[in-house]
Structure 1
């Protein structure tokens, strides 16, 4: 692993994923003034993003909208306007956020999502870089262990079958290509962070783009996986933290993760609102022996944040750990240590 030394240069940190976990970490990295690049999944086909994707044959905007806001320096009032969702009684606009509509309109105006996001980044005074993983929408496919299949990110968890593997395709069935500057960002990074986010539907879709998979395997950066706190309905039911990493390595056909961050804070019994957070089941079980067999370095700490009867990663604590790794010489030397560290 090559890491930022104690110089005035900000650590170059690339974070890959999607969903609600990504902005939490990006907010913290921005506050610490890291040189941040967010690479965002384009396989989402659910909710209002999915509606815009299908009606306009466009890259789904929702995850990119949240990332842009998390790295933006525009006033909070402007962010609130960008994030505003129309009420359910507003007929054709019901549930759509203004930001999603602006991103979709900008992509149509510029002719592609990449240039649209770069222009919006300037307009929104984004601190860092935001790139779609691919410049066209991807369809996510799952093959279950019983041999059956499903297509569409929003459909994969419905059967609650155990997933053998996932893959992505373009509309034209051509091999997906990484968006501009994605590969160079990964190869030039000090640290590449995966997650937190849904394993099969937010993280792996990006890694199933062959160019991105190759870059993540070849980069000299410290590749860090932030393990989920809770198991997820239809995706990671009954998973341990080691199972999460095993799935990543199986999909990439080699062990490529250098460091895993795992939460050891305990979620209080009956704390979580099961109706509001209905896709999350139970706390991920720990298998430190299994983790040590998969990765050179395991970092365990209480990364738990309990808020509004929901369970989240504490962004400040996670980012503190990422920064400590960025400047700590013990993390240099890719895949050359087998060490357990409990903080």
Structure 2
């Protein structure tokens, strides 16, 4: 990796989806990084899934949250964009206004990639936001018992051990592809960050797009994985940090993760609201020997943030380590 000089904004590509991604992006933006966010398009649940069923667009939920995290809009306009209709409003129940806007502009332009760039300009986004693919994808899982299931929202349902996941376009017979801008951003980056987010349903759906996965393997950038703090129901039950890396390396057939960020701070007993955060189980265990066997540099520290009886990454601390890495302060 060519280390950027401190008078140049480091080019950092972040791949993923879910609630963890905007936290990292917001803190990278605060440190003036040159950010490209590449967002998962295989979500079929909630408002995103419903819109996807009625309008042939990529699911907009994660894209909406990423746009807001990088936006310079006034607070009120952000709140309007994020507003979700009450469940009593039967026609629009559960839909976020931003999801409807993304779907409308995509239909108007006939291309989700162009629609997101237009919306990013309108929202004064500092950085680039790209969908991992320009068409909606279906995420499939094959379990160790040989059974299969299709649909991101169904994968964790039976709590089976996942052998592998893969993606296919929803309506065509060709393989999923990433836009040229996505590939170029990865190959020209100083750092590529994976996560935090659900391993099988937020991180891997991006990497299973063949040309995108190949770009991550072949980039000269430092590839960093931000390991989840908690194991996840039906996905990573009983996982260690090394298990996360083994799964990533197995899927791409290459030991491509250079560095892993691991939280070592203990979550207090009975802190989490188990009903509100019912998909998160126990803390991810540590297997530092296993990580060394995967040729991973380990940065272990207190990355924990406790808030609203939930467990999160401290975005400021994570980004501090990422910038230390990208500027070559780590040996």
Calculate the TM-score normalised by the size of structure 1.
0.95
Alpha-carbon distance, 1:329 to partner: 5.4
1:13-162 paired onto structure 2 within 5 Å: 13-162=12-161
Cα deviation code 1:125-182 (max 9, x no counterpart): 0000000000000000000000000100000000100000000001213100102400
Alpha-carbon distance, 1:256 to partner: 0.3
Alpha-carbon distance, 1:2 to partner: 2.6
Does structure 2 retain, via aligned residues, the 8 Å contact 1:74–1:124? yes
Does structure 2 retain, via aligned residues, the 8 Å contact 1:242–1:291? yes
Does structure 1 retain, via aligned residues, the 8 Å contact 2:324–2:330? no
The secondary structure found in structure 2 opposite 1:181 is helix
Does structure 2 retain, via aligned residues, the 8 Å contact 1:18–1:41? yes
Q: Distance in 2 between matches of 1:179 and 1:67?
A: 18
Does structure 1 retain, via aligned residues, the 8 Å contact 2:19–2:197? yes
Q: Does 1:223 align with 2:223?
A: yes
Does structure 2 retain, via aligned residues, the 8 Å contact 1:5–1:326? no
Structure 1 unaligned regions, length at least 5: 332-343
Calculate the TM-score normalised by the size of structure 2.
0.98
2:255 is matched with which residue? 255
2:319 is matched with which residue? 319
Alpha-carbon distance, 1:296 to partner: 3.6
Q: Distance in 2 between matches of 1:5 and 1:258?
A: 21
Cα deviation code 1:224-283 (max 9, x no counterpart): 000000000000000000000000000000100000000001000111000000000000
The secondary structure found in structure 2 opposite 1:92 is coil
The secondary structure found in structure 1 opposite 2:91 is helix
The secondary structure found in structure 2 opposite 1:99 is helix
Alpha-carbon distance, 1:11 to partner: 0.3
Cα deviation code 1:17-40 (max 9, x no counterpart): 000000000000000000000000
Q: Does 1:246 align with 2:232?
A: no
Q: Distance in 1 between matches of 2:179 and 2:134?
A: 5
Q: Does 1:302 align with 2:308?
A: no
Alpha-carbon distance, 1:292 to partner: 1.1
Give RMSD over aligned pairs.
0.8
Does structure 2 retain, via aligned residues, the 8 Å contact 1:222–1:258? yes
Aligned length: 330
Cα deviation code 1:287-332 (max 9, x no counterpart): 111111113411000000000000000000000000011112555x
Q: Distance in 1 between matches of 2:244 and 2:63?
A: 25
Does structure 2 retain, via aligned residues, the 8 Å contact 1:114–1:180? no
Q: Does 1:280 align with 2:284?
A: no
Q: Distance in 1 between matches of 2:4 and 2:286?
A: 30
The secondary structure found in structure 2 opposite 1:311 is strand
The secondary structure found in structure 1 opposite 2:231 is strand
1:293 is matched with which residue? 293
Structure 2 unaligned regions, length at least 5: none
The secondary structure found in structure 1 opposite 2:28 is helix
Q: Distance in 2 between matches of 1:257 and 1:4?
A: 20
Point out 4+ residue stretches in structure 1 off by more than 4 angstroms. Answer: none
